[in-house]
Structure 1
Amino acid sequence: MVLITLVRDYIDRMLHDIPGMKVLVLDPQTVGMVSVVYSQSDLLRKEVFLVETMDNASSSRESMAHLKAVYFLRPSANNVQKLRRQLAMPRFAEYHLFFSSILKVPQIQILADSDEQEVVQQVQEFYADFCAIDPYHFTLNIQNNHMYMLPTVVDPPGMQGFCDRAVDGIASVFLALKRRPVIRYQRTSDVAKRIAQETARLMYEQESGLFDFRRTENSSLLLVIDRRDDPVTPLLNQWTYQAMVHELIGIENNKVDLMGFANIPKDQQEVVLSSVQDDFFRANMFENFGDLGMNLKRMVDDFQHLSKSSLNLQSIGDMAKFVSNYPEYRKTHGNVTKHVNLVSELSRIVEERKLMLVSQTEQELACTSGQAAAFEAVTSLLNNESVSDIDRLRLVMLYALRYEKESPVQLMQLFNKLASHSAKYKSGLVQFLLKQAGIDKRTGDLYGNRDLLNIARNMARGLKGVENVYTQHQPLLFQTMEGIVKGRLRDADYPLVGNHFQQGRPQDVVIFIVGGTTYEEARSVALYNAANPGVRFFLGGSVVLSSKRFLEDLGEAQRISKSSTII
């Protein structure tokens, strides 16, 4: 479980060593960090009887001298100031302060000066400044994610905060892993370069003592890349369970909000999809929609069999056995209901938006060449009244990314048709995407048509056929992982920071995507790790993207660029 285990161990240590009744105080960021790895029942077992947010703790004046307070916070200036005010008028018997990243010396001094009543028992750094949503996948949940599309040379407001948050999160991952990596970045991305250089400065200069871990035979690697090098992956509809739920409904910190959907019971309006807590989800999170349906049917059949046996209680012994198994029975019942509801909603949305029809064309645009046929297919879908505005926009974007240099006249025809059919279409958004992530801006071989090896690989895939037309796309990240393992990552495209060099094949590799990851990429990483036990890849990013979030970020960056002279 790697990343999840690392964060859980930190929280275990926080709570285990403090006996008695406790309150856990969190900020908006650490709420997510804790909730993805720790359940409410886990907290109760550690004698945590109350969870408060930092804002509530600041506004409340109610004395709780019978409780010990465990604070787990990001070391932000805002949090330190709030904590300073709370320590001036303490509500709790004891204060145990834990910070998710490196605390600066002036901040420690502020806290020491504020503790006039000597209620602070300890101040520690526990490096969990990231949201471990899966064993090899983490996110930083950065709200102003569109910042990565603005040029760093202008240094727009918020850019330094964006980069600082990325550096803190990346550093925390390596501190938790107890590694100091060699650092590389995507040459064509100013923001990737900036984050890589600032991370190197932190690890090798400012806090070199913290990162002075025992040398290992194979060095670790941090590769910082830019979302714009692969704009195709976040634009595609998804057909594997976890990715599909996020694309069509939305997952935030492993929680799915079903409140706005009809026919969902009240106790199922917010559900958790966790590979740690849910056996069915762990077994099926990477399965395609067809196989998922068959596996769900087997789960329902097994539960029906269990339900029938529970009704056939013949003796006191039978009843005693059922009562002892009742919590597991209830858990299974809730799990069955949850997954049936989710798959039912996914099926409804697929039918409503005609996504099987749309997705087939999307996959062809992403995976096969043929400009004339692609133009005809996209035109046909633009004329189809059943196709939604967002699906029309994504189709034109996918066509534009693939054929921007081949058919400017036909591309303009699609722009005009899109504008006339889709009321929500923001004028110039496709052109802005090309300006951000067109062929002249990209480093990698996105369509496998530049490099002879990739051309041969694509031909081989074509000859063998694909298992499922809806899941044939392979993110560019897969090529990047293979390039790292086989030593084919070109220094000219992915330079090293400083005088450090890669010694042999790295054992632990963190790939950080500025601008966000996708669940399709997380699946590629998990499957690659399972098939290649000699190396561990970890995937992280500023957010987890759906096509909706990617387009929102694009639109916000376009708005800022129009209202200023930044771009």
Structure 2
Amino acid sequence: MVLVSAARDYINRMLQDISGMKVLVLDSQTVSVVSVAYTQSELLKKEVFLVELIDSISKSKESMSHLKAIYFLRPTSENIQYVRRQLASPRFGEYHLFFSNILKDTQIHILADSDEQEVVQQVQEFYADFIAVDPFHFTLNIPSNHMYMLPAVVDPPQLQQFCDCAVDGISAVFLALKRRPVVRYQRTSDIAKRIAHEVSKLMYQQESGLFDFRRTEVSPLLLIVDRRDDPVTPLLNQWTYQAMVHELMGIQDNKADLRSFGKIPKDQQEIVLSSEQDAFFKANMHENFGDIGINIKRMVDEFQQLARSNQNIQTIEDMAKFVDNYPEYRKMHGNVSKHVTLVTEMSRIVEERKLMMVSETEQELACNGGQVAAFEAVTNLLNNENVSDMDRLRLVMLYALRYEKESPVQLMQLFNKLAAQSPKYKPGLVQFLLKQAGVDKRTGDLFGNRDLLNIARNMARGLKGVENVYTQHQPLLFQTMESIIKGRLRDVDYPSVGNHFQQGRPQEVIIFIVGGTTYEESRSVALQNATNAGIRFILGGSVILNSRRFLKDLEEAQRIARTSSSVV
């Protein structure tokens, strides 16, 4: 509940201390913050009768002096100007201004000067500048996520905006948790180093008083790493519930949008998947697809039994009991329909795209050696007309990442075959990925074939066999967490910023992945926290990736890099 609780506490404090009918005014970022932490019915209970976006409310002139306006916004220059203009001709009876991060002195002066009619009752900083999708997983939803891939020579203004958003979000998390960490970063990543230094400067110099919390025996650790150190995880098909929904359909702010998927009932076209609001999802979000089907069947059977008992209404007492249980009955009906719809649609996609066949080869590429067999398997799938262009591209990328040094001739053959059979394939994209995240660029032991301990672990796993061939992959993050737990995170690979060093093993660790997290990594963090009582991990990133988003970011970065090089 750590991150979700922190966000909820801020929203509670905003809403409960202001009595009467309220309008809640948000921006495109804070609407995500609120929507994952609070339901519409909870907002109504707090007398919030209207929710508006700051840019749309600016266009309206209608007076609503009977409402008290609660603004919850990021402290951007654009938002400050919106508020300034709205205070010039107030539409609401009172204005309560809350900002999700640190306000600059100049911004405070602008707001003070703008309140000529003295309608502003308070201005406060509530540090919820992050989207708490799960108790130990947050995202920043940075739109220009591809910026982290740009070469060092290309430094457009948007790259600084990306860094600023990352710094703001990370600092807000630590302000919400009331902690000041030791900051470490991945040495081979310029962008991770840049963000780490800016975060440290903010916490230890610019706003040191704000971060001067009660010291813990061992400082928390903030580790900033680069997505390109593990490009395999976002390229793989997923077979656990939450990760699979995001891979096949997409999840945004804990909602799955099914409007473009076949004949979906109207009330099921947007599905909320929140571990805080849905007990079945909470219990099953990390279970594999086969077990989900069994568990949904059990839930359907329980619902049918409840429905049959409700048909036996013979007395007034039976009727009263049914009325009392009706809200729970409706909720259970909605839950059953929701999860049956999701699993039915995912089963259809799996069959249509032959994903079980594709995924088996993906897992072999990610987890096991054998270049000759891998080349044959990928070639066969490229020749299979039932395999989609995107799945072909991902297979070649996984092969290239695994065998870029071992089989350049076969790799070129796969490039040519991919270009011939997938007309939508953009030439050079696999090569661009290798430039970005090839073996010479990576810090970690991605395939477990450098470090003797990892080689032995992989051999032991191979001898024992795996419980499920489709979920045998472990993200690099798992190794990183193990290294932290055992005190083996190498200073040469992950240096500290400044003179702030870790004294002993940290009990709280936030790992921030520049370029985005995945739900497979979120699952690893949740499982690690459940089994290791001595240390708590929190995972955060610039966005939450699936393979489609990862490939889109790669394409956009390639386009900008090409344009920049042609200009030079």
Render the CA deviation track for 1:310-356: whole Å, top value 9, x for unaligned.
11111000000100111111111011000000000000000000000
2:420 match? 420
Amino acid at match of 2:170: I
1:368 match? 368
The 5-angstrom pairing of residues 62-81 of structure 1 reads 62-81=62-81
1:263 match? 263
1:235 match? 235
Write the distance in 1 (CA, Å) between the matches of 2:151 and 2:166.
Answer: 16
**C-alpha contact 2:226 2:513 (8 A) present in aligned 1:** yes
State the Cα distance separating 1:152 from its structure 2 match.
Answer: 3.9
The 5-angstrom pairing of residues 259-408 of structure 1 reads 259-408=259-408
The 5-angstrom pairing of residues 147-166 of structure 1 reads 147-166=147-166
1:517 match? 517
Deviates more, 1:51-60 or 1:397-406: 51-60
Write the distance in 2 (CA, Å) between the matches of 1:293 and 1:476.
Answer: 29
Write the distance in 1 (CA, Å) between the matches of 2:156 and 2:263.
Answer: 46
Render the CA deviation track for 1:495-537: whole Å, top value 9, x for unaligned.
0000011011111111000000000000000000000011110
2:437 match? 437
2:30 match? 30
Write the distance in 2 (CA, Å) between the matches of 1:361 and 1:262.
Answer: 28
Q: Tell me the SS of whatever aligns to 2:116.
A: coil
Write the distance in 2 (CA, Å) between the matches of 1:152 and 1:341.
Answer: 46
Amino acid at match of 1:40: Q
Write the distance in 1 (CA, Å) between the matches of 2:313 and 2:439.
Answer: 68
State the Cα distance separating 1:557 from its structure 2 match.
Answer: 0.5
Q: Which sections of structure 2, spanning at least 5 residues, go unmatched? A: none
Q: Tell me the SS of whatever aligns to 1:123.
A: strand
Write the distance in 2 (CA, Å) between the matches of 1:92 and 1:27.
Answer: 18
Write the distance in 1 (CA, Å) between the matches of 2:158 and 2:263.
Answer: 42
**C-alpha contact 1:255 1:271 (8 A) present in aligned 2:** yes
Write the distance in 2 (CA, Å) between the matches of 1:394 and 1:335.
Answer: 34
Write the distance in 2 (CA, Å) between the matches of 1:346 and 1:266.
Answer: 18
Render the CA deviation track for 1:113-140: whole Å, top value 9, x for unaligned.
0000000000000010000000000000
Write the distance in 1 (CA, Å) between the matches of 2:461 and 2:533.
Answer: 24
Amino acid at match of 1:470: Y
The 5-angstrom pairing of residues 18-97 of structure 1 reads 18-97=18-97
Q: Tell me the SS of whatever aligns to 1:171.
A: helix
Q: Which sections of structure 1, spanning at least 5 residues, go unmatched? A: none
**C-alpha contact 2:127 2:175 (8 A) present in aligned 1:** yes
1:446 has 2:440 as partner: no
1:137 match? 137
**C-alpha contact 1:525 1:539 (8 A) present in aligned 2:** yes
**C-alpha contact 2:154 2:561 (8 A) present in aligned 1:** no
Render the CA deviation track for 1:63-110: whole Å, top value 9, x for unaligned.
000000000000000000000000001000100000001011000000
1:507 match? 507
Write the distance in 1 (CA, Å) between the matches of 2:558 and 2:154.
Answer: 16
**C-alpha contact 2:154 2:564 (8 A) present in aligned 1:** no
Give the percent of matched residue pairs that are identical in Structure 1 and Structure 2: 78
1:112 has 2:98 as partner: no
1:222 match? 222
Q: CA RMSD in A?
A: 0.9
**C-alpha contact 2:516 2:543 (8 A) present in aligned 1:** yes
Amino acid at match of 2:492: A
State the Cα distance separating 1:153 from its structure 2 match.
Answer: 4.9
Q: Tell me the SS of whatever aligns to 2:129.
A: coil
Q: Tell me the SS of whatever aligns to 1:36.
A: helix
Q: Tell me the SS of whatever aligns to 1:457.
A: helix
Write the distance in 2 (CA, Å) between the matches of 1:206 and 1:121.
Answer: 28
Q: Tell me the SS of whatever aligns to 2:276.
A: coil
Render the CA deviation track for 1:348-401: whole Å, top value 9, x for unaligned.
000000000000000000000000000000000000000000000000000000
Amino acid at match of 2:194: R
Q: Give the alignment's TM-score, normalised by structure 2.
A: 0.99
Write the distance in 1 (CA, Å) between the matches of 2:512 and 2:276.
Answer: 23
**C-alpha contact 1:248 1:349 (8 A) present in aligned 2:** yes
- Change in Cα spacing, 1:509 to 1:153, as seen in structure 2 (3 Å) is farther
**C-alpha contact 2:393 2:425 (8 A) present in aligned 1:** yes
Write the distance in 1 (CA, Å) between the matches of 2:365 and 2:16.
Answer: 53
**C-alpha contact 1:150 1:156 (8 A) present in aligned 2:** no
**C-alpha contact 1:180 1:212 (8 A) present in aligned 2:** yes
1:457 has 2:461 as partner: no
Amino acid at match of 2:514: V
State the Cα distance separating 1:264 from its structure 2 match.
Answer: 1.4
Amino acid at match of 1:546: N
1:8 match? 8
State the Cα distance separating 1:263 from its structure 2 match.
Answer: 2.5
**C-alpha contact 1:4 1:37 (8 A) present in aligned 2:** yes
Amino acid at match of 1:481: M
Write the distance in 2 (CA, Å) between the matches of 1:464 and 1:97.
Answer: 59
Q: Tell me the SS of whatever aligns to 2:251.
A: coil
Render the CA deviation track for 1:196-249: whole Å, top value 9, x for unaligned.
000000000000001000011121000000000000000000000000000000
Q: Tell me the SS of whatever aligns to 1:487.
A: coil
**C-alpha contact 1:152 1:159 (8 A) present in aligned 2:** no
1:484 has 2:484 as partner: yes
Q: Tell me the SS of whatever aligns to 2:132.
A: strand
State the Cα distance separating 1:463 from its structure 2 match.
Answer: 1.7
State the Cα distance separating 1:261 from its structure 2 match.
Answer: 2.1
Q: Tell me the SS of whatever aligns to 1:511.
A: strand
Render the CA deviation track for 1:401-436: whole Å, top value 9, x for unaligned.
000000000000000000111011000000000000
Write the distance in 2 (CA, Å) between the matches of 1:19 and 1:378.
Answer: 63
Write the distance in 2 (CA, Å) between the matches of 1:152 and 1:507.
Answer: 35
**C-alpha contact 1:30 1:74 (8 A) present in aligned 2:** yes
Render the CA deviation track for 1:475-502: whole Å, top value 9, x for unaligned.
0000000111111111110000000110
Q: Tell me the SS of whatever aligns to 1:128.
A: coil
Write the distance in 2 (CA, Å) between the matches of 1:200 and 1:279.
Answer: 39
Render the CA deviation track for 1:251-274: whole Å, top value 9, x for unaligned.
000011111222311111111000
Write the distance in 2 (CA, Å) between the matches of 1:143 and 1:16.
Answer: 32
Write the distance in 1 (CA, Å) between the matches of 2:398 and 2:238.
Answer: 15
Amino acid at match of 1:29: Q
Amino acid at match of 2:328: E
Write the distance in 2 (CA, Å) between the matches of 1:176 and 1:520.
Answer: 25
The 5-angstrom pairing of residues 544-563 of structure 1 reads 544-563=544-563
Amino acid at match of 1:342: L
Amino acid at match of 2:26: L
